Amino acid sequence: MSGVIRSKEARRRAVYVAQILGVTGAYYLSGRLGLTRQVVVDGAVVTPLWPPTGISLAALLYFGARIWPGIALGALFTVSAIGDAFTWSRMGIVLGNTLAPLAAYALLRKVGFRNELARLRDGVCLVFLGAFAGMLVSATAGSVMLLLDDKVPSGRFWLVWASWWAGDAMGVLVVTPVLLVLRRVRRPRLDERWAEACVLAVAVVLAGLISTRSSLSMIYLVFPVIIWAALRFQLPGSAPCALVVSVLAIMAGTDSLGPFAGHTLMEIMINLTVLNACVALTALLLGAIVAEHQNIRRETEHAVVELEALVEQLAPLPGPPSGRYDDGPPGAPRQGGRPAQ
């Protein structure tokens, strides 16, 4: 018996270590991918979208707070890869990058957040608590560390802070919903919805390329596609579409193409942040609203079926066609209380 218990305990430890290593690897690889589109704002390396924050929060929502060592190790390896020497200021950045998703996770659990994102309140909480509030920690810690290390002028502190916060928040808004819906996505049947999903995938790529690379500044072209995805497929359709549009926009922005040509670095960062935020909010909130309405409709239909069954059980048995009932055996009381003659 003790051997079985030890075997189960060893298996749990192996699974836990595998989860830690998986989160570490995902953080590091996504960080390296994000750094391919890095920009330097007054000496600080920032990105328009920082995927590790979205991966970290999704990992915490899946596995719980016990997964934090994987986030810390991933942040440590990623920050170490940016420069040559590892200083105390970089340790502060690692600490901030670890605490930020933990703070977002604690806030979401405090308000009863559900990973399914099937309610409007869950979408709103992810936006304001997970992205906007939680990422204040990493942006503040990173900017303060760079300021204390004399790598950022004091007069440009808030500019660096805003750029850092925007990139981390966009990582949560764009990446976390995709990872949360992956667990419950099922392979669709080969019917008209499968064909519609293929058409939607082609449409979002074409709309994203045209809107982000055309000199006509047709950024608004992506929103009908995002709305289509949310109405027809909810978050499993709208969240990946938002990710595709954001990636295409970041590639065009960092290359100064299309509507981003001829603008300064800060103007490009502002435009990218606004575009990514609008796309992510549209996909997230509209998808949650549609899912919530569908759940309410299903619950209402189920309640109606149960009520109909209850009414059928309580309904009186039908009488004879003549409308008269038998008097029963001799001597039995009638309706008026008199015995039968």
User: Tens of pLDDT along 49-58?
Assistant: 999 999 999 9
What is the spatial distance between Cα 259 and Cα 271, in angstroms, rounded to a whole number?
Answer: 9
CATH number of 1-184: 1.10.1760
Say what the pLDDT of residue 334 is.
52
31-64 b/e with 16+ CB inside 10 Å = b? Answer: beebeebebebbebbbbbbbbbbbbbbbbbbebe
For residue range 132-170, list pLDDT tens digits in order.
Answer: 999 999 999 999 998 888 888 888 888 889 989 999 999
In the predicted model, what is the mean pLDDT of residues 204-230?
Answer: 91
Rounded average pLDDT over 17-27: 95
Question: Which region holds residue 260: left if phi is over 0, alpha if psi is between -120 and 50, else beta?
Answer: alpha
CA dist 28 and 99 (Å) reads: 17
List all residues 6 or more positions away from 33 whose beta carbon is below 8 Å from its beta carbon: 51
* pLDDT(341) > 50: no
pLDDT above 80 (res 250): yes
Report residue 340's pLDDT band, with 50, 70 and 90 as the boundaries: very low
pLDDT, average across residues 265-286: 91
What is the Cα–Cα distance from 160 to 164, expressed in whole angstroms?
Answer: 6
63 pLDDT above the threshold of 70 = yes
Residue 330 has pLDDT above 60, yes or no: no
Helix (H) or strand (E) holding 304: helix 265-314
| CA-wise closest residue to 167 among 31, 22, 26 | 31
Within 184-256, residue ranges assigned H as helices are 192-213, 222-233, 235-254
222, pLDDT greater than 70: yes
Query: Which residue, chain included where needed, has tokens 């994102």?
Result: 117
Transcribe 148-171 into DSSP letters.
HTTSS-GGGHHHHHHHHHHHHHHH
Alpha-carbon dihedral angle through residues 301, 302, 304, 308, given to the nearest 10 degrees: 140
Query: Residues near 323 by Cβ (< 8 Å), separated by ≥ 6?
Result: none
